Amino acid sequence: MISNLPKHVGIIMDGNGRWANMRGLPRIEGHKRGAERTRDIINASLDIGIEVLTLYAFSIENWERPEDEVSVLMDLLYSYLSEEIIDMLKEGIKFRMIGDRERLPSHIQKLIEEAERITAGGDRMTLVTALSYGAKDEILRTVRKIIKMGIPEEEIDEAVFESLLDTHGLPPVDLIIRTSGEKRLSNFLLWQGAYAELYFTDTLWPDFTREEFISAIQDYQRRERRFGRVLTDSRFYK
């Protein structure tokens, strides 16, 4: 067990397509290899005691990709989740999806609902998959909920807003990891990650090993988190 762990880690799993292109393979092969890597990182998170792991699997913007690629990604998602449900149950993993699930194919929506129901009692780790997700879309949907519920303006604060986000009930993101060399958040957990530590690596997602994941956690542990304040004489000052 590693001490001083981030409670909530988010990962932008980037680089599957480039990994395949560099090897002269179809892009789908990169996505398949990326799915295999996902299993490794989930297991590593379990082993070291991460409470919440959020994986950015399919963004709102990804719907704009070629139709055949989107179709293959949906098939891969269905296959992966179908295979993993029983293992998640055995390992004590609680599965949860964030994003606009209404845009997903109906058979995938049903499978996600089933996975959430079956694993609801998981108490070792919560695995959050961001599908059809965009942080700006999530925030807009939350604003619409507030309007629809008729919540008075004077009652709207951060706690109320957070209770209506897709991630309600989850802790803020402590660490966001992005693979593939890109240094941006790409519309991922903008509210929840307001004070997250960021870790960027040139490694493409299919090559992102358990060892590098542990290194990212250790890098986080060496940082001094101030949350916009100054640390002096062991006390925080604004």
**What is the C-alpha to C-alpha distance for residues 120 and 89, in angstroms, rounded to an integer?**
9
Whether residue 231 lies inside any domain: the answer is no
Six token digits for residue 125: 């780790």
Helix (H) or strand (E) holding 57: strand 52-59
Return d(Cα 209, Cα 186) in angstroms, integer: 22
Q: State pLDDT tens for residues 12-26.
A: 999 999 999 999 999
Tell me whether residue 187 is one of the annotated catalytic residues.
no
pLDDT in tens, 87-135: 999 999 999 999 999 999 999 999 999 999 999 999 999 999 999 999 9
Q: Do the domain assignments include residue 1?
A: no
The catalytically annotated residue of 43, 47, 62, 219 is 62
Total number of domains constituting the chain: 1
pLDDT in tens, 188-223: 999 999 999 999 999 999 999 999 999 999 999 999
Report yes or no on 233 lying in a domain: no
Q: Domain containing 114 — which CATH number?
A: 3.40.1180.10
How many whole angstroms separate alpha carbon 50 and alpha carbon 11? 13
Residue 40 is among the residues annotated as catalytic for this protein: no
Q: What is the mean pLDDT of residues 141-163?
A: 97
Catalytic residue among 14, 137, 166, 174: 14
Residue 178 maps to a domain: yes
For 25-31, the CB contacts below 8 A with 24+ separation are: 27/69, 28/69, 28/72, 28/76, 30/206, 31/72, 31/73, 31/76
Residue 234 falls within a domain, yes or no?
no
How far apart, in whole angstroms, are the C-alpha atoms of residue 91 and residue 1?
Answer: 17
Indicate whether 171 belongs to any domain: yes
| 227 is a domain residue | no
Q: Domain range for residue 56?
A: 8-221
Residue 4 — pLDDT band, cuts 50, 70, 90? confident
